[in-house]
């Protein structure tokens, strides 16, 4: 049975695609991606040319394009495609509403129309808003998003739940904490800090740097997504966290130590507007029900990640310059 992935050229989506094609080489995986600035086909070089993998360039907000690409009775849709960066949503929210809300509703409608087996919706711990020092975000906690990005992801979740309640569509939702690992676009904290540190350029620290994020390695996340897709309960929501809650400043100090760079690179800048102080996902449900737990200790994962960025200066330079668009043209002869 085929699987239809949206946003498979992004950071987490491309990890999922690479892992899936390795694990299920006989199943067709269709990657439907608009290839925005965040979609990078260099992330998918490993599966390029594999008969089990097909790329379709398209927009999740365009029902005709989705219906053309989505096979009848497709086994599953895994919906990653989104505008994903909080700072960009603060600058301008319109594209977030379009892609994250309208795009999700279009995907749900198309999935119903095509008789898709299961719809896995990728959400975020940010829909809960920030937690007090001793508070935990549970699957049934109230949703209280702070940023326009989180607000759009919250709205999307409501459409997913409504599709199950109203139409009986088999959906599952995952809410993941901050992912890190190779191939993450260098506008997010860790790849930005690592690449700047390598180049001995200042690393911007928002506000007091004491905001807490729970870091999970992207491979641990995709393992959890496989478990939810294959064994999760219809209509359920599962939290996926790394169990590594750390203030930003500590994470940055650790990576500077790993890279042998001075702390003087850390440069305080004004705080992000509406900045969430602490995320804390409770992951008891997925651990108990599906037997998943993260396997990569943070310091090991961070060391490998730092090495990956150090070993891939061309990838970083392309991502930072937008040059990967040229790569697409070279591969497909189409201007993007
Ligand atoms: P990303 O920004 O790296 O990639 C997004 C992908 O979606 C890109 O390939 C882009 O081209 C594609 N895309 C964007 N708009 C599209 C559209 N209209 N139609 C088709 N494709 C489109 O994102 P990511 O960090 O890999 O995140 C993937 C998903 O996981 C998102 O839904 C995000 O909200 C969620 N999430 C991410 C994190 C994290 O730490 N990165 C944490 C929790 C949840
Ligand atoms: P980010 O990677 O944007 O993820 P999110 O906002 O979705 O958690 O940011 C992670 C944390 O790092 C967040 O608290 C904001 C902070 N941050 C900085 O301090 N400096 C930076 O340059 C960036 C991009 C983020």
Predicted pLDDT of residue 323 = 64
Closest CA to 291 of 241, 224, 245: 224
Q: What is the structure's pLDDT at 331?
A: 62
Of 324, 320, 309, 316, nearest to 35 by C-alpha is 324
Q: pTM for the complete prediction?
A: 0.97
Q: Is the CB of 38 under 6 A from ligand 1?
A: yes
Nearest CA to ligand 1 atom 4: 10
Does the Cβ of 186 fall within 6 Å of ligand 1?
A: no
Say which ligand is closest to the CA of 191.
2
Q: What is the pLDDT of residue 285?
A: 98
Catalytic residues: 125-126, 149
Angle at 238 between CA 233 and CA 242, to 5 degrees: 140
pLDDT at residue 1, as a whole number = 84
Q: What is the pLDDT of residue 324?
A: 60
**Residue 171 Cα distances to 55, 105, 186, 233, 310, angstroms:** 24, 13, 32, 9, 39
pLDDT at 326 (0 to 100): 63
Quote the pLDDT of residue 111. 98
> Which parts of the chain have pLDDT scores under 50?
336
State in Å: Cα 189 to ligand 2 middle: 5
Question: Percent of the chain scored above 90 by pLDDT?
Answer: 94
pLDDT at 321: 81
- Listed in sequence order, the residues at least 6 apart from 83 whose beta carbon sits closer than 8 Å to its beta carbon are 36, 38, 89, 95, 96, 99, 100, 149, 152
Alpha carbon of 289 to ligand 1 centroid (Å): 27
14 Cα–ligand 1 center, Å = 10
Least distant ligand from the CA of 202: 2
Residues 225 and 174: beta-carbon distance below 8 Å:
yes
Q: For ligand 1, say whether the CB of 298 is within 6 Å of any of its atoms.
A: no
pLDDT at residue 320 in the model: 83
- Domains of the chain and CATH, by start: 3-177+218-240 (3.40.50.720), 180-213+243-280+292-328 (3.90.25.10)
């Amino acid at each position: 049975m085929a699987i239809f992935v949206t946003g498979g050229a992004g950071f987490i989506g491309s990890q999922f695609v690479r892992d899936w094609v390795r694990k299920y080489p006989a199943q067709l995986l269709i990657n439907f991606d608009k290839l925005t600035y965040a979609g990078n086909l260099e992330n998918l070089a490993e599966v390029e040319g594999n008969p089990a993998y097909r790329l379709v360039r398209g927009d999740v907000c365009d029902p005709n394009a989705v219906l053309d690409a989505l096979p009848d009775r497709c086994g599953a849709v895994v919906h990653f495609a989104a505008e994903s960066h909080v700072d960009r949503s603060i600058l301008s929210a319109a594209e977030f509403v379009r892609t994250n809300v309208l795009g999700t509703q279009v995907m749900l409608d198309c999935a119903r129309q095509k008789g898709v087996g299961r719809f896995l919706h990728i959400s975020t711990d940010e829909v809960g808003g920030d937690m007090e020092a001793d508070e935990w975000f549970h699957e049934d906690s109230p949703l209280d998003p702070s940023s326009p990005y989180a607000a759009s992801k919250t709205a999307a979740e409501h459409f997913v739940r409504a599709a199950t309640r109203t139409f009986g569509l088999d959906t599952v939702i995952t809410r993941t904490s901050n992912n890190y690992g190779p191939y993450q676009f260098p506008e997010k904290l860790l790849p930005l800090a690592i690449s700047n540190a390598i180049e001995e350029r200042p690393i911007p620290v928002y506000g007091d740097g004491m905001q807490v994020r729970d870091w999970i390695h992207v491979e641990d996340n995709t393992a959890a997504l496989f478990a939810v897709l294959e064994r999760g309960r219809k209509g359920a929501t599962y939290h996926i966290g790394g169990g590594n809650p750390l203030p930003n400043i500590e994470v940055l100090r650790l990576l500077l130590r790993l890279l042998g760079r001075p702390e003087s690179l850390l440069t305080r800048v004004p705080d992000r507007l509406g900045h969430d102080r602490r995320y804390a996902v409770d992951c008891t449900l997925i651990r108990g029900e599906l037997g998943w737990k993260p396997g990569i200790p943070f310091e090991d994962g961070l060391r490998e990640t730092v090495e990956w960025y150090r070993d891939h200066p061309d990838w970083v330079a392309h991502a930072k310059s937008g040059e990967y668009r040229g790569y697409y043209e070279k591969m497909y002869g189409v201007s993007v």
